[in-house]
Amino acid sequence: MPPKKKSAAIARPPLPVPNATHPCASLIPSVLDPASLIERPHPASYHAFLTSPYYPIASPSSEPPTKKRKKDSSEPKLPPALDSAIEAAVVQKKLLAWFDGVKEKRGMPWRKEVDPKTLSQKDRTQRGYEVWVSEIMLQQTQVATVIPYWKKWMEKFPTVKALAKADIEEVNEVWKGLGYYSRAKRLLDGAKTVMEKHDGILPETAEGLLDIDGIGPYSAGSISSIAFAQRSPMVDGNVTRVLSRLTAFHAPAAAKATTSYIWALADVLVPPQPKKKKASSDGDDRSTLDVGGLNKPGAWNQALMELGATVCTPKNPNCAECPLNDECLAYAEARYVAHRPAADGSAAAAPDIEDLCTLCAPLPYEEASEARRHGVEVYPMAKEKTKKRDEETAVCVLEWVPSGTDEKSDEGRKVLLIKRPEKGLLAGLYEFPAVDLPASTAPSTPKARSKYLDKLLHTLLDISSSTTFSPSSPEDADSSDLRIMSRSTLPPVTHVYSHMNRTYHSERLVISSPSFPSLRKASPASPAKKDDLVQSLPGRGKWVDAADVEGENVGGAVGKVWEERQLQAKGLASKNGAKAKGKAKAGEGAKTAKVEKRQGSLAGFFVKKEEKRVKETVEVDDELIVVEEKHEVKVGTNGGKAEAVVEQQSKIYKKRRIAPASDDEDE
């Protein structure tokens, strides 16, 4: 058999020759001088080659709108525009024309060609509500995932009024599976604010929208421009990346000065909504009136996001197809470096030190060879990576069965669920009784976890303080006839969140009594202490049928714990490799993850593995989506009689999402 040929690496097409017509073309040789490329000394005006009627003249730059913080006079100004600066109308015309041709490709049902001026006030509020819901969902989730959820949401809560009448459980039920449930609560709180303080009418300006609970600067800008054609900027991760590359801006992402600059630039580039649709009197073909549809500001903001999501991507951007590649300064730099002329011995003129940009940071090159490959992907400046912390939680799957019932029977079986607080991680969702364990350099022990759970259960159940939770015989039942039938350990489950990896150590506790134990009422709130543990609270629990647990509003980690409980109850092997206690019932052997392997034929050796995706679980992050894919791997035979071996394999990886959130709203 001839040796297998290696597939050739996919080579990128050569970059075009340097762009001599770019307004910064004369500055690039000195800015990218090989001797100082890492520092990249450049004048502040290097970023100011675009201007517009809204460009400030020696005045402080606009900041992202805030609800409480006043403008800081020390924030930097947009630098004076270059004498050779081009009008923003040039890029507006190009980008809007491009957007006209691609805006329908991803089939977003909330994208509508509407002139807000032609709508009644009621219809404008409805339009704003549709955009509002879509933008909140898109802040943390990919477009393809959002579309069916948006449709489902609009069917359940078609108007702001309908949403305001709902409760958090109804809202979480519709949101279930999208992650970051606090977003759903913010929508609910915002709808109530609109009905109570604004008579059911959604404000149309960014400033007015900031008064709505749950709406931050990004959401306010997107709703006001897309729904109401207001000339409002909006900045998310995609917009930041596009504008940073457009102006070759390399500054720390978390710095206030960086945020101020990006918002200011976004502001001056938003085109106004024309009062009348007519051709430019002087015949200037740069007019944006014939592109961008009926809503110019909304189309512009959506076009920036679309460009960042589909063309100006974090990795391997398609610069050749970008409608702004002639104006993009990062691309102009890359073209110059790729075709840098041979050194002629003359030193490039350095910019005046008093005019140097004070916002940009050095480029992240350590060697000259890296600098020779200078490209657009170096912009924007990468965020510093922080290591996720590891945390542990003790969980009790508490089950009750009526006295005299077989422990293995699900007849009348109830499971205790506790509602999480309305704020914070997984706000308003239900979980099994749980307590977050104190931080420690060493993993927790089973004995320590059991002690925490015993103490927790006494705060949740209205039982005697002398009750212990060790398995007992009928004669050992306490004064309330409560009997501990069994207590067993479930395999640990690890769940990946945006900021931490949490391991859930679960125990399964089955109790029995004539009627299920009463739950304690909520206790008066007391000042929190520094060493208090986060745990399930009394007054927020309910008993549910065991068969209904999966249908409750629970998070992904709770679902994983319940899967392990189900496997143990059936005597099946754990998904993470641990052995289940007890024996499987007759006829259940076929459901195990591995089918018994028997003698096979030689033909089976040559059969390729067939992979089938079983399901995909998504956890969201402010920049990345953590995806866990589980595959069912089958091995068959070509005509042989050997039985197949079925295994489940899990693969976890990260994908950068399409539209990162920009609002400063913590999960």
* Number of domains making up the chain: 4
For residue 190, being part of any structural domain is answered with: yes
Only one residue has tokens 């108007």, namely 159
Give the list of residues 6+ apart from residue 347 with CB closer than 8 angstroms, or none: 33
Q: Answer whether residue 612 shows pLDDT above 50.
A: no
CA 638 to chain centre: 45
Which one-letter amino acid corresponds to residue 34? Answer: P
With contact defined as beta carbons under 8 Å apart, do 431 and 447 qualify?
no
Last residue of a domain, one of 569, 591, 613: 591
Neighbours of 185 (CB within 10 A): 19
Query: For residues 327, 330, 331 and 335, what is the CA-based torsion angle, rounded to 10 degrees?
Result: 120
For residue 111, being part of any structural domain is answered with: no
Same domain membership, residue 434 and residue 299: no
Residue 168 domain-assigned? yes
**Same domain, yes or no, for 421 and 541?**
yes
**CA separation (Å) from 209 to 119, 197, 215, 231, 266?**
19, 12, 7, 14, 19
In a domain, 167, yes or no: yes
In the chain, the amino acid numbered 25 is A
**Residue 538 belongs to a domain:** yes
- From 329, 361, 382, the end of a domain falls on 382
**Is the distance from CB of 22 to CB of 332 less than 8 angstroms?**
yes
Three-state DSSP state, 390: strand
**Tokens 């995932």 appear where?**
145
Is there a single domain that holds both residue 399 and residue 503? yes
Indicate if 46 and 134 belong to the same structural domain: no
* Residue 150: CA count within 13 A, CB half-sphere: 23
Q: Assess contact for 258 and 252: CB atoms under 8 A.
A: yes
Assess whether 442 and 307 both reside in one domain: no
Residue that terminates a domain, selected from 382, 415, 442: 382
Domain carrying residue 546: 389-523+532-591
Residue 517: predicted pLDDT: 87
Same domain, 612 and 503: no
Provide the percentage of residues in the chain whose pLDDT is more than 70.
74
CATH number of domain containing 305: 1.10.1670.10
Residues 510 and 456 in one domain: yes
Give pLDDT, residue 287: 54
Indicate if 449 and 582 belong to the same structural domain.
yes
Domain of 187, CATH number, reads 1.10.340.30
CA distances from 518 to 429, 473, 538, 545 (A): 21, 22, 11, 16
Within a domain: 373: yes
What pTM does this model have? 0.75
Percent of the chain past pLDDT 90, that is, above it, reads: 52
Residues labelled as active-site residues: 135
Higher pLDDT, 637 or 401: 401
Angle among Cα 212, 215, 221 to the nearest 5 degrees reads 110
**486 and 634, same domain (yes or no):** no
Helix, strand, coil in percent for the chain, rounding step 5: 30, 15, 55
Lowest mean pLDDT among 193-207, 485-499, 588-602: 588-602
Do the domain assignments include residue 161? yes
Domain identity same for 464 and 555: yes
210 falls within a domain: yes
576-602 pLDDT, tens digit per residue, is 655 444 433 333 333 333 333 344 433
Q: Considering only 38-47, 397-406, 640-649, which range has the smallest mean pLDDT? A: 640-649
Question: Does 420 share its domain with 512?
Answer: yes
b vs e for 190-208, b when ≥16 Cβ sit within 10 Å of the residue's Cβ? Answer: bbbbbbeeeeeebbbebeb
What CATH number has the domain bearing residue 462?
3.90.79.10
pLDDT tens digits along 47-100: 999 999 998 864 444 455 555 444 444 445 688 888 889 999 999 999 999 999
Spatial distance between the Cα atoms of 192 and 212, rounded to a whole number of angstroms: 9
Q: Are residues 258 and 208 in the same domain?
A: no
SS3 93: helix
